[in-house]
A and B are shown apart, each in its own frame.
Chain A
Amino acid sequence: MEDVSQPSPGISKVVSRMHGSTIGQKALMAVSGVLLIAFSFGHMAGHLQMFVGPEPYNAYAHFLQSLGGIKWAIRFGLVALTILHIFSAFQLTMRNRAARPIAYASNKWLAASIGAKTMRASGGIVLFFILYHILHFTVLLVGTAGFPPEDTYKLANGLMVDDVYRRMVISFQNPALALGYVFGVGLLALHLSHGIQSALQTLGALNSTYRPLVKRVGPALAGLLFAGFASVPLAVLTGCIK
């Protein structure tokens, strides 16, 4: 056996193995995916404050905006993770296509879930959904019809802040936007129903004891994320949040 690992791999070897091998690329995809999922849960939990009322929600939004440098660090981090996630997916897809140049005339799936089979499509649409979402609520460039020109809110302590709560309500009173968002987070959940368990398997976290459990935890967490995200536009649309 060739001595490829003694005595220590060296940083350049670590980098080349991580980005130049199939397992390494999968691991980069898994780690970036897991970090993006962690952000999604935080994001979802923040939005659930819509159910409490304009005061806590706008105060929370103002707090996030006031983070300054930290806010930008997180934004750049998220963009970098997304690029890493997509780039490794792209590289692996190219490799995988080359590995099977002639397709089967007859092909039957025995085990793959619907989430697994639609990863590329769901991931691609979710990317466009996220871009729209940023242009909508962060950049205020699209979907802003009906936003009041005077959109400030006076907090209990007298501070005048952006009325993000009002913008959410106005947006989701439009059925097309509300249902569009539900569709977007639905596809995200579909992506994660396979993605979570796939990431754990790729990182070697599944042994025979935990595998049956984790196979259910993936879809369960994806469902939880969907319920949390979809509840806000649906609550506005049905008039539960005004």
Chain B
Amino acid sequence: MNLTLKIWRQKDKATPGKFETYEAKDISPDMSFLEMLDVVSERAQAQGQEPCAFDHDCREGICGMCSLVINGVPHGPEAATTTCQLHMRKFKDGDNIVIEPWRASAFPVLRDLVVDRTAFDRIQQKGGFVSVNTGGTPDGNAIPVSKLEADLAMDAASCIGCGACVAACKNASAMLFVAAKVSQYAHLPQGQAERSRRVLAMMEQHDVEGFGSCTNFGECEAVCPKEISVRVIAEMNRDYLRATLVGTDP
């Protein structure tokens, strides 16, 4: 299949970028989207052009490294799928495809389609963990956790931190990411000791990083490759307001 790509090119953080058009000819429908970009980059390189930079790592949909806003949708047109797992058969021969980086002031573009997502790391470092003194490994089932609560925690914990929620949000809010990281502990006994401190500290960092506020559009939930529900945002709001108004950990 033959495609026309409009790709965002930007030399570095300080230089303003612009779109450039590429003709992608003889693309196999069985290629993944990233493989298609590999081919286009290789051909450009062979002609002495600078290849296009984009993030990728595991290429099996679990690491959270790949990104790209494809025709206005983070991770492209297929639901619950990362860009690396998106295949070219989802497109039609002759399609025009616009490829942009995640757009957020908290995610500055480093080069072309690569953005700096270390803001997520800084939020995590503020409270996305449980403090446990080292010692012997506890027995597997010493602390009972109901199946329902375990499932809710696991659903939240499936967040891979790719940032598609930020990219899709009209306010570039990272509420779905932060809420997933808060919710995964809120449903487990181990998370209770630092429950209030965690939500306050992580949200404080969210705001410091310059992410926007949640307008409850639900776009984040629609593009999340791990299908994390905005339920976690409601839970986090409740925890945040309780922590603010009452304010003590048990």
Spell out A's residues near B (CB within 8 Å): 1-9, 13-14, 17-18, 21-27, 92, 95-96, 98-112, 116-117, 119, 194, 197-198, 201-208, 211
Contact yes or no, B233 A201, CB < 8 A? yes
Given A22-B214, A104-B69, A197-B216, output 20 extra A-B contacts at Cβ < 8 Å: A1-B131, A1-B198, A22-B206, A23-B236, A23-B237, A23-B241, A95-B212, A102-B103, A105-B8, A105-B98, A105-B100, A107-B72, A108-B72, A112-B217, A116-B215, A116-B216, A204-B241, A205-B234, A205-B238, A207-B231
* Residue from B6, B106, B203 whose CB has the most chain A CB atoms within 10 Å: B203
Q: Do B238 and A23 have beta carbons less than 8 Å apart?
A: no
Among B8, B98, B243, which residue has its beta carbon within 8 angstroms of that of A5?
Answer: B243
Q: Which chain B residues in 7-56 approach chain A with CB under 8 Å?
A: 8, 19
User: Once the chains bind, are A14 and B172 in contact (CB under 8 Å)?
Assistant: no
Q: B219 contacts the other chain (Cβ, under 8 Å)?
A: yes
Asked if B105 contacts A23 (CB within 8 A), the reply is no
CB closest residue in chain A, given B130: A1
For residue B218, CB closer than 8 A to chain A, the reply is yes
22 sample A-B contacts, Cβ–Cβ < 8 Å, listed by A number = A1-B129, A1-B197, A2-B201, A5-B247, A17-B200, A22-B175, A23-B236, A23-B237, A26-B213, A27-B241, A92-B171, A99-B212, A106-B69, A111-B217, A111-B218, A112-B170, A112-B218, A197-B216, A202-B214, A204-B239, A206-B231, A211-B231
Residue of A with least CB distance to B229: A208
| B201 / chain A contacts, CB cutoff of 8 Å | 1-2, 4
Q: A-side binding surface: helix, strand, loop or mixed? A: loop
Known interface pairs A1-B127, A21-B207. Does A98 touch B105 (Cβ–Cβ under 8 Å)? yes
A17 CA to B240 CA in the complex, in Å?
10
Contact B106 A99, beta carbon cutoff 8 Å:
yes
Residues in A neighbouring B127, C-beta threshold 8 A: 1
Closest 9 CB pairs of A and B: A204-B238, A99-B212, A108-B72, A96-B171, A9-B247, A22-B213, A96-B212, A110-B222, A111-B218
Complex partner residue of A2 from B172, B197, B213, B249, CB under 8 angstroms: B197
Nearest A-chain residue to B233, judged by Cβ: A201
In the complex, how many angstroms separate the beta carbon of B163 from the nearest chain A beta carbon? 13
Interface centre among A108, A116, A194, A203 (most CB of B within 10 A): A108
Task: Confirm or deny: B104 has a beta carbon within 8 angstroms of a beta carbon on chain A.
Answer: yes
Chain B interface residue count, Cβ-Cβ cutoff 8 angstroms: 64
B235 and A5 within 8 A (CB): no
The answer to whether B234 and A206 have CB atoms under 8 Å apart is yes
Residue numbers in B under 8 Å from A211 (CB-CB): 231, 234
Q: Hey, which chain B residues are within 8 Å of A96, CB to CB?
A: 170-173, 212-213, 215
Say whether A111 contacts B222, CB under 8 Å: yes
Q: Given contacts A1-B197, A204-B241, is CB(A110)–CB(B234) below 8 Å?
A: no
Q: Report yes or no: A111 in contact with B213, Cβ–Cβ below 8 A.
A: no
B118 within 8 A of A: no
Given contacts A5-B249, A22-B203, A99-B171, contact A111 B100 (CB under 8 A): no
Cβ-defined partner of A22 (8 Å) among B173, B196, B198, B241: B173
Q: Which residues of A contact B249 (CB under 8 A)?
A: 5-6
- Residues in B neighbouring A21, C-beta threshold 8 A: 203-204, 207, 240
Binary CB contact string for chain B from 168 to 203 against chain A (1 if under 8 A, 0 otherwise): 101111010000000000000000001011101101
Q: Are B173 and A99 in contact (CB under 8 A)?
A: yes
Contact pattern, B 125-159, Cβ under 8 Å of A = 1, otherwise 0: 01101010000000000000000000000000000
Given A1-B126, A203-B241, A110 and B73 touching (CB < 8 A)? yes
Whether A202 contacts B216 by the Cβ 8 Å rule is yes
B245 proximal to A (CB < 8 A): yes
Residues of chain B with a CB closer than 8 A to A13's CB: 247
- Measured between beta carbons, the chain B residues less than 8 angstroms from A4 are 197, 200-201, 204
Q: Which residue of A lies closest to B196 (CB)?
A: A5
B112 located at the interface, meaning its Cβ lies under 8 Å from any Cβ of chain A in the complex: no
Q: Which residues of B contact A197 (CB under 8 A)?
A: 216
| Contact status A100-B104, CB under 8 Å | yes
* Nearest chain A CB to B128 CB, angstrom units: 10
The answer to whether A104 touches B215, judged by C-beta atoms less than 8 angstroms apart, is no
A18 touches B103 (CB 8 A): no
- CB-CB under 8 A from A198, the residues of chain B are 215-216
**Complexed CA–CA distance, A54 and B171 (Å):** 50
Judging by beta carbons under 8 Å apart, are A194 and B216 in contact?
yes
- Nearest CB on A from B104, distance (A): 6
